[in-house]
Amino acid sequence: MLLISYFEPFGRDPLNSTEVICEEIKRVRRDVQFVKLPTVFYESGTVLTSLIKEVNPDTVIMLGQAGGRAAITPEMVALNWIDARIKDNRGQKPIDKKIVEGGPAAYFSTLPVRKIVEALTKGGIPARVSYSAGTFVCNALFYQVMHFIIENRYQIKAGFVHFPYLSGQVLYREEAPSLDLAKSIEGLNLIIELMEGSL
């Protein structure tokens, strides 16, 4: 079973592209379990790891919005580090802090990052491998989940994929790149199909 997490809006954004995409796709993808996470350090990880324990998925795909990027970007690496430039949705803004004291510096994604990029590109959707998931809540969630899976020796594939702004989000921020909702949904569908082995 495939478990996909997405985030609520954060910062000054009234929307989070991954929420809009997943709200659409979950109506037709009844085989996939979706969960919305709070954009809050640690709490997002606690919610998702609890759910992983409960539903025992084969694969976990965490989604997040990367405003300013022009392509869908599967993340290669989760970094054991927090350096928040803005507040999370509980008003926390931690700086220069490990996510897991004593944990390794980083975990690699166990999703087939290159294959995801190739499948998207073949499907006509801008995509590239990213080597930095940032140092905010997205990366912290990614690290917490990888650490949880590895510490507990679960046989679960997991990784993080960043999505650009949707076109509708940049109407008053016109220099920012965006990806159309239809293409974004198509992109997430391709990733799901790839992970389910139906691609």
- Selecting among 120, 133, 138, 195, the annotated active-site residue is 138
What burial class does residue 60 get, using C-beta atoms within 10 Å of its C-beta: 0-12 exposed, 13-18 middle, 19+ buried? Answer: buried
Does 105 participate in binding a copy of itself (rule CB under 8 A)? Answer: yes
Asked if 86 is part of the footprint of a copy of itself (rule: CB under 8 A), the reply reads no
Cα 46 to chain centroid, rounded = 15
Rule CB under 8 A: say whether 194 interacts with a copy of itself. Answer: no
Q: Is 138 a catalytic residue?
A: yes
Cα distances (Å, whole numbers) of residue 116 to 71, 81, 185, 186: 12, 26, 14, 13
Q: Give me the count of residues in the chain.
A: 199
Instruction: Name which of 51 and 106 has its Cβ closer to a copy of itself.
Output: 106
Restricted to residues 160-179, the positions that interact with a copy of itself (CB under 8 A) are 167-168, 170-172, 174-179
CB 119 within 8 A of CB 22: no
Q: Is 70 exposed, middle or buried (0-12, 13-18, 19+ CB in 10 A)?
A: middle
By CB under 8 A, is residue 108 in contact with a copy of itself?
yes
28 lies in the binding site for a copy of itself (CB under 8 A): no
Q: Counting contacts by CB under 8 A, is residue 46 touching a copy of itself?
A: no
Q: x/- site string to a copy of itself, residues 124 to 153, per CB under 8 A?
A: xxxxxx-xx-xx------------------
Q: What is the spatial distance between Cα 166 and Cα 183, in angstroms, rounded to a whole number?
A: 9
CA distance linking residue 168 with residue 178, whole number of Å? 8
Among 55, 90, 114, 152, binds a copy of itself (CB under 8 A): 114
Q: How far apart are CA 111 and CA 97, in angstroms?
A: 26
Task: Give the shortest CB-54-to-a copy of itself separation in angstroms.
Answer: 28
3-state secondary structure of 143: helix
Q: Which is nearer to a copy of itself, 64 or 134 (CB)?
A: 134
Q: Which residues are catalytic?
A: 138
The residues binding a copy of itself (CB under 8 A) are 70-71, 76-77, 79, 81, 83, 96, 104-108, 114, 121, 124-129, 131-132, 134-135, 167-168, 170-172, 174-180, 182-183
